[in-house]
């Protein structure tokens, strides 16, 4: 899995910090076959990838995963959609990602991002999106070792309704 992936942020930050640009995400699902959506703030994006792990559990509770050197192959595509970034997609699920000094706030933010994503891209009402999240959403902790704690809201693709026509434009 890739621990750190990000584009150049709007202001300087250390590599321990996740943010809208990506950064130190430490999500075990960010591996082979996954897609991560990141914003571009500067010409050329300045994509950076590192901190690869052979294995890491949710929460990264003891400073690190099983760190390894790795060769990473990526395909970069520029999209025009305004997605809630960073956003992770695997074969089976979509993940919204958030971080904060407060784990409570990070969990609320990750949930709200997914709620908004479901309403925007799948034309669900506020109540429909909330009900789906309560039934099949999986709120997880991605890391607690850094000053900014990470949470992800995982939503299984099997429960996604058809994407709205507006989202495809």
**How does pLDDT run across 124-144, given as a tens digit for each residue?**
999 999 999 999 999 999 988
For each of the domains in the chain, give its residue range(s) and CATH number, in order of start.
2-168 (3.10.28.20)
Per-residue H/E/C for the chain:
CEEEEECCCCCCCCCCCEECCEEECCCCCCCCCCEEECCCCCCCCCCEEEEEEEECCCCCCCCCCEECCCCCCCCCCCCCCCCCCCEEECCCEEEEEEEECCHHHHHHHHHHHHHHHHHHHHCCCHHHHHHHHHHHCEEEEEECCCCCEEEEEEEEHHHCCCCCCHHHC
For the chain, percent of residues with pLDDT exceeding 70:
96
Q: Residue 168 — pLDDT band, cuts 50, 70, 90?
A: very low
């Amino acid at each position: 899995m890739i621990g750190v992936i990000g584009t150049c942020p709007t202001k300087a930050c250390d590599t321990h910090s996740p943010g809208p640009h990506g950064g130190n995400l430490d999500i075990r699902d960010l591996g082979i076959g996954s897609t991560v959506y990141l914003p571009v703030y500067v010409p050329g994006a300045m994509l950076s990838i590192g901190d690869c792990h052979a294995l890491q559990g949710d929460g990264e509770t003891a400073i690190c995963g099983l760190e390894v050197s790795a060769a990473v192959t990526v395909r970069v595509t520029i999209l025009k959609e305004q997605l809630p970034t960073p956003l992770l997609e695997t074969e089976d699920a979509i993940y919204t990602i958030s971080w904060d000094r407060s784990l409570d706030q990070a969990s609320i933010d990750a949930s709200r991002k997914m709620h908004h994503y479901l309403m925007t891209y799948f034309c669900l009402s506020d109540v429909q999106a909330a009900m789906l999240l309560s039934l099949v959403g999986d709120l997880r902790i991605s890391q607690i070792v850094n000053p900014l704690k990470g949470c992800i809201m995982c939503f299984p693709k099997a429960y996604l309704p058809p994407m709205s026509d507006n989202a495809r434009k």
